């Protein structure tokens, strides 16, 4: 059996997230990809994704793998898949990997980007990929607040209910907030992330940036281990899975 | 009467261009804007656009003006319009201008951008705004070719049939082609442009870039004053009206 790794780019706007939802006939990225794979390989394929991105969340570098006996040339497989896939899902890379590679269990970390457009009005071009925030934000305060997330912590306060995440400990390796014109770009790298964790972190930092929360209050919120103390969940559409590290 | 100038950003993907087409009930940017203006100002408004962008063409800085007697604060008018407009049309600026300002007749020139993605596959994020070209392109040759367009010429060879443009003379002031990763960005500034002229220029330069036309053949094509000698028309979706100069 060959083990094939895909790197996938998608605009999540029109999908109910990555994961196939059992019993529900909803349009998910995984379902669309498995259907395309089945069409090309003439066999039912089960695809393992590295991250179960939520409805409306995007990816520049989602990783998934599947096993097949087919000897098809990978370049041809990629071409065939891309010709079948809708315009908002693209296989950007394909390679054969060792049989023990598992896109979820083998990964050592992920990089997410969150984009805020700080403006009175949205953007005709970017509206699918940003959270538009009208009130003034203090980047220095948000940067200070972001520092408290670095390292290993219990992230219960930033984990949505119904997560199924038993172990709430995560390690944040890097956290940068940059300004680019009217945009604020949050770049966060961690070994693992809980359900809606990045969006809860960004939603909380925005409360810091607009002066509703203190930057050093983040430490207290982490210590509470209770979702009720953190800020609101930032909208899905600003979030993009940038890279999965192995 | 007040004369109000709007700067408008739009994703042209879902529209049949800027201009209202008489007798046809098609969705154009001008129609959507006039409807929103009518709703806010409680009066039929006739909006004059600086450029009649084609179906599928985008704008970052389309300019339009209209006259009104209403004393409404411009910031409130902008807010009201943006709240009525669909997500892919945004009024990014509004100001009162002298009564003789006419967005089409007063303008001194326009800047257009054309974006090519030079890759085997399209982009899940950018597919609305690019022309995806799979074959190799030589930027040096395209840059050399672009130089022949500078200055004043008769652009009959680059003007689509049925243009209605009587005077085919145009002056190209700047023409830059840059590479940014897998993208080629064509930035062209001119005093006036004929029907589909930018797309015909880009389509012809791509023939130069892939080695089908000679770079210095551009001069001959211009001299022919015959559309049949130039290359194909590049797709509308790669084109964006960046700025209108007054």
Q: Do A87 and B124 touch (CB under 8 A)?
A: yes
Whether B126 is catalytic is no
Residues of chain B falling short of pLDDT 70: none
Whether B127 sits inside 8 A of A9 (CB atoms) is no
Which of B88, B123, B129 is the closest to A90 by Cβ? Answer: B123
Three-state DSSP class for residue B39: helix
Distance CA A20, CA A13 (A): 16
- pLDDT tens digits, residue range A173-224? 999 999 999 999 999 999 999 999 999 999 999 999 999 999 999 999 999 9
**Domains in chain A, ordered, with CATH?**
2-97 (3.30.70.580), 109-245 (3.30.70.660)
- What is the distance between the alpha carbons of residues A95 and A230, in angstroms, rounded to a whole number? 41
Q: CA of A221, closest CA in chain B: separation in Å?
A: 35
Residue in chain B closest to A10 (alpha carbons) equals: B124
Task: Please report which confidence band the pLDDT of residue A48 belongs to, taking 50, 70 and 90 as the band edges.
Answer: very high
Question: Could you read off the pLDDT of B168-199 as tens digits, one per residue?
Answer: 999 999 999 999 999 999 999 999 999 999 99
Report chain A's C-alpha Rg in angstroms.
19
Residue appearing with tokens 């529209």: B15
CB B58 within 8 A of CB B89: no
Distance (Å) from the alpha carbon of B12 to chain A's nearest alpha carbon: 9
CA distance B125 to chain A (A): 6
The predicted pLDDT at position A164 comes to 75
Q: Mutate which of B125, B129, B131, B238 to test chain A, going by most A C-beta atoms within 10 A?
A: B125
Which residues have C-beta within 8 Å of that of residue B143, sequence separation ≥ 6?
Answer: B177
CA count, 13 A, side-chain hemisphere, B111: 13
Q: Which of B201, B79, B91 lies closest to B149, judged by CA? A: B201
The whole-number pLDDT of residue B23 equals: 76
pLDDT of residue A232: 96
Q: Name the interface residues of A facing B (CB cutoff 8 Å).
A: 9-11, 58, 60, 78-79, 82, 87-92, 120-125, 127, 129
CA dist B164 → B49, B156, B167, B196, B202 (Å): 17, 12, 9, 12, 21
pLDDT at A85: 98
Mean pLDDT calculated for residue range A126-130: 97
What ipTM does the predicted assembly reach? 0.90
CB–CB contact A122 B87 (8 Å): yes
Tell me whether residues B121 and A10 touch, CB distance under 8 A: no
Write the pLDDT tens digit of every residue in B30-39.
999 999 999 9
Q: Look-up: residue for tokens 């082609």?
A: B177
B80 vs A166: which has the higher pLDDT: B80
């Amino acid at each position: 059996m060959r083990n094939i790794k895909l790197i996938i780019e998608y605009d999540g706007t029109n999908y109910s997230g990555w994961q196939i939802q059992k019993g529900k006939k909803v349009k998910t990225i995984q379902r669309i990809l498995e259907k395309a794979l089945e069409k090309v390989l003439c066999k039912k394929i089960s695809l393992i994704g590295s991250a179960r991105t939520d409805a409306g969340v995007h990816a520049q570098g989602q990783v998934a793998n599947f096993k097949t006996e087919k000897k098809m040339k990978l370049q041809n497989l990629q071409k065939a898949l891309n010709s079948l896939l809708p315009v908002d899902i693209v296989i950007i890379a394909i390679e054969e990997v060792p049989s023990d590679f598992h896109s979820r269990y083998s990964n050592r970390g992920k990089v997410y980007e969150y984009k805020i457009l700080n403006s009175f009005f949205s953007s005709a071009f970017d509206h699918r990929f940003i959270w538009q925030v009208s009130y003034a934000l203090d980047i220095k305060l948000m940067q200070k607040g972001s520092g408290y997330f670095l390292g290993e912590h219990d992230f219960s306060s930033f984990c949505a209910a119904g997560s199924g995440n038993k172990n709430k400990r995560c390690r944040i390796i890097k956290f940068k907030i940059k300004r680019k014109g009217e945009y604020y770009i949050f770049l966060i790298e961690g070994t693992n992330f809980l359900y809606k964790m990045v969006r809860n972190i960004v939603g909380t930092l925005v409360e810091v940036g607009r002066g509703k929360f203190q930057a050093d209050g983040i430490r207290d919120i982490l210590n509470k281990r209770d979702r009720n103390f953190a800020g609101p969940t930032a909208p899905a559409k600003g979030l993009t899975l940038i890279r999965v590290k192995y």
